[in-house]
Amino acid sequence: MGFQLRYPWPDLDPDDVAAAAIAVRLDVTENKVEAAEHAHRKGQLVFALGGGVMCRVPNGLWMVPPHCGVWLPGGTRHANIATANARIFFVFIEPGAADLPDRCCTLSISPLLRELIIALSDRMQQDHGTETLVAQLLLSELPRMPLQQPSADEPRLRRIAAALADDPADRRTMAEWAERVALSESSLARLILRETGLTFGRWRQQLHLIVALRELSAGASVQQVSSELGYESVTAFITMFRKALGKPPAKYLSDIMQGGGSAFAAGG
């Protein structure tokens, strides 16, 4: 099952459009859908205004955090997975049109860049990808966005990350995960630290923060998010959130919406 396009030209091939940058908005109406694995000659930035999105690539699984986008260089085989009612923007960029990394990574999306992406997708409906000032501004702004922490490439960590992404409330211990991937607990601890720079607890917490920010941004209550993440109490969730990000959820989200703060990328 694929994404449900909201365009009069659903067979658009971005590689056939001559413009240096185009943006396409997709509205997902089904329950959790996945686009088949494919690749583009152009690079692709995946950005979401609502819902959850993941990008599956040969050497990793990338979650698209709130206020961030996942960058896929041209030629990268990938499958995009989205939750119901997701509002996704794909920005396709000609190779060499902007100074962007030659590997998959997560980029922060500033309020200005967000508005440029939205405006460029609106222009796409009007002029089908001809060069615009908006595209030029976007191409100059995008390389200024800071990179977030990279995803781990190691196959066993990808397996754990995929399971945690499907069920963030999973509370299996590191010893239990180690048994699942046929490692000793100490070997798994060293592997996670080497590949991500984080302890297992911090790595899992980072995923929880991404899910929490995504759900809170979509209007879920703190109580709902706390339950989804498997916390024993709302207080425990708020304490974790405050220790990690320096503010309670409501204050942090308020500051983010006004353009302040930062978001986290997923290790995995």
The whole-model pTM stands at 0.61
Let me know: does 160 contact 181? Beta carbons within 8 Å: yes
Report residue 31's pLDDT band, with 50, 70 and 90 as the boundaries.
Answer: low
Let me know: does 91 contact 120? Beta carbons within 8 Å: yes
Partnered with residue 227 across adjacent β-strands are: none
Average pLDDT over residues 11-35: 78
Would you tell me which CATH number, out of the four given (2.60.120.260, 3.40.50.2300, 1.10.600.10, 1.10.10.60), belongs to the domain 155-257?
A: 1.10.10.60
Would you tell me which CATH number, out of the four given (2.60.120.280, 2.30.110.10, 2.70.98.10, 3.10.310.70), belongs to the domain 21-148?
A: 2.60.120.280
pLDDT digits (tens, 9 = 90+) for 153-208: 688 988 888 888 788 889 899 999 999 999 999 999 999 888 776 789 888 887 78
Name the token pair of 202.
């911090």
Phi, psi dihedral angles at 35 (to 5 degrees):
-80, 140
- Whole-angstrom distance, CA of residue 84 vs CA of residue 32: 5
- Whole-angstrom distance, CA of residue 213 vs CA of residue 229: 12
Delimit the domains of the chain by residue range: 21-148, 155-257
Tell me, yes or no, if the two domains 21-148 and 155-257 fold the same way.
no
- Who has greater pLDDT, 30 or 132? 132
Cα 63 versus chain centre, distance: 4
- Whole-angstrom distance, CA of residue 235 vs CA of residue 223: 9
Q: What is the secondary structure of 193-222 as a DSSP string? A: HHHHSS-HHHHHHHHHHHHHHHHHHTT--H
Query: What value does the mean pLDDT of the chain take?
Result: 79
Q: Is the dihedral of CA 43, 257, 165, 80 positive or negative?
A: negative
